[in-house]
Amino acid sequence: MRNAFDFLGRSIDELEQHPKYSVIHFYSAIELFVKARLLKEHWTLIVAKPDQADKAKFQRGDFQSVGLKEANERLTKVASDGLLDEELKCFDGLRQERNQMVHFAHAAQGDDAVAAKEMDRIVSDHAKGWLYLRRLLAGRWKEHFAAHADTINALDHRMREQTKSLERKFLLLTDDIATAMAAGSHFMACPSCGFESFEVEQPVWIGVGKCLTCGFSSSVMTLECMNKACAQPILLAGGYEWCAECAHEYTPEQVEAVLEEHDLLRATDYKDPEDLAHASCGNCGSYETVVPLENDEWFCTDCFDVEAYIGQCDWCTGYSTHVPEESYALGCSQCEGRVGHEKDD
C-alpha cells in the first residue's frame, strides 16, 4: 500500500513535465492496489504459481507476481470480490497505455497541438481510473483499507486538482452547454473530472449520462442530497458514493429509499412470490440489491447496473441478473452450481 500511494503521488507530480513517467507510475499504483486486496485473502495468491510459493522467498521479494487480469480472476473466484467489467476495462486500458509509454514514443511527448490533445486525454483517463479506484478503496473494499482513509481522501483532493488542466476544454464548451440547457438539458458536476458538463435528463433520474469535457460516460442517479442540512442536487455513480457538497456517505439501502420516495420503483405485491421486490446482481455479485423500476427495468443499487430481465438459477433457485444458461451446473452470482457443490464435497 505504501508503494501504491507513493507511485500515485509521483504520477500526479510528474504529469505536466514528465507524462511518460506519470502514466507508468499511475498504472503501477493501480496494479499494486489490486494486489494489496488480493494479499488480504492470502499471500500465496499474488504469486504467479501458488503451488510453488515459498514464504521465505516471498518475504525477500524473490518471486514473480500475477498481472492485473490474473489478480482479478483470483479475486473473483476466491473472494467473490473482483472488479466490475467497466473497472477492469478501464484499468486494462491504462495498462496498455503504460506498455506503449515503456516501449514506444508517445504523442504526448511534445509541445504541439497534438501533444496538448493527448495530454487532455491522459488527464481524462487518469480521472476515470481514479474514480473507479477510489470507489473500490472507499466503497466495496472499504473494510480492508479503512486504515488508509485519510491518505485516500488527500489523494482524492490532489487528483481533482490535476483535472483543472481540462478547464480550457470546458470553457470552449460553455456556449454549447448553454444552448443545450435552453433546450431542456440538465448538467451536473462530472464525477470524474468535476466540471459542470455531465449531461443528465432530469434532476431526479436514473440513466446513462456523459461528460462533454472528459468524455466519461456511466449509469448514474441524480437526486437531492438526503442530508436535510445540505439538500443540494448531486449525482451518484454508485451505491457507496458520497455527496460532494457535504460528504454525506450513501449506501445501497439509502439509494433504494430515494427511489421509493420519488415513486421510481414499480409497486410489487408481497403476497405474490413471483412478483419480486429484490434480486441479486450478476454484475457486482451483491445480494438482493437489484430493484424493479417503474419502466420495468431492473436496477442495482450498488453498482448501478441496469438490466431488462432477471433470471432464476436452476441450482440455488435464487433470482439474479446475468444468470447463465447452464446455471444448474455453473451456478449464478450467489452460488457455484452443482460443479462447485461437488468440488466442495
Please determine, for residue 273, whether its predicted confidence score (pLDDT) is greater than 90: no
CA distances to 43, 89, 285 from 53, in Å:
9, 29, 29
Q: Rounded distance, CA 27 to CA 217, Å?
A: 21
CA-angle at 332, arms to 90 and 69, nearest 5°: 30
Q: What's the average model confidence in pLDDT over 287-315?
A: 95
Q: Rounded distance, CA 67 to CA 76, Å?
A: 14
Burial class (CB in 10 A: 0-12, 13-18, 19+), 52: exposed
Mean pLDDT, rounded, of the chain = 91
- Residue spans of beta strands (DSSP E) within the chain: 186-188, 198-200, 205-211, 217-224, 233-236, 290-292, 298-300, 306-307, 311-312, 319-320
Looking at residue 109, its pLDDT comes to: 65
DSSP string, 57-99: HHHHT-SPBP-HHHHHHHIIIIIS----HHHHHHHHHHHHHHH
Phi and psi dihedrals of 217, rounded to 5?
A: -130, 135
CA distances to 10, 299, 331 from 76, in Å:
30, 22, 14
Q: Is 298:291 a contact under the CB 8 Å cutoff?
A: yes
Length in residues, the chain:
345
DSSP state of 267: P
In this predicted model, what pLDDT tens digit does every residue of 23-63 receive, in sequence order? 999 999 999 999 999 999 999 999 999 999 999 999 999 99
Looking at residue 242, its pLDDT comes to: 87
Burial class (CB in 10 A: 0-12, 13-18, 19+), 62: exposed
The DSSP element (H or E) to which 18 belongs, if any, is none
For 181, the 3-state DSSP assignment is: helix
- Residue spans of beta strands (DSSP E) within 212-330: 217-224, 233-236, 290-292, 298-300, 306-307, 311-312, 319-320
Answer yes or no: pTM beyond 0.75: yes
| Domain residue ranges of the chain, discontinuous segments joined by + | 2-168, 173-250
Q: What's the average model confidence in pLDDT over 176-188?
A: 93
In this predicted model, what pLDDT tens digit does every residue of 66-99 receive, in sequence order? 999 999 999 998 988 999 999 999 999 999 999 9
Phi and psi dihedrals of 160, rounded to 5?
A: -70, -30
- Calculate the CA dihedral of residues 235, 137, 324, 279 and round it to 10 degrees: -50
Looking at residue 106, its pLDDT comes to: 67
In this predicted model, what pLDDT tens digit does every residue of 94-152 receive, in sequence order? 999 999 888 876 666 667 777 788 888 899 999 999 999 998 998 889 999 999 999 99
Sign, CA torsion 216/258/260/317: positive
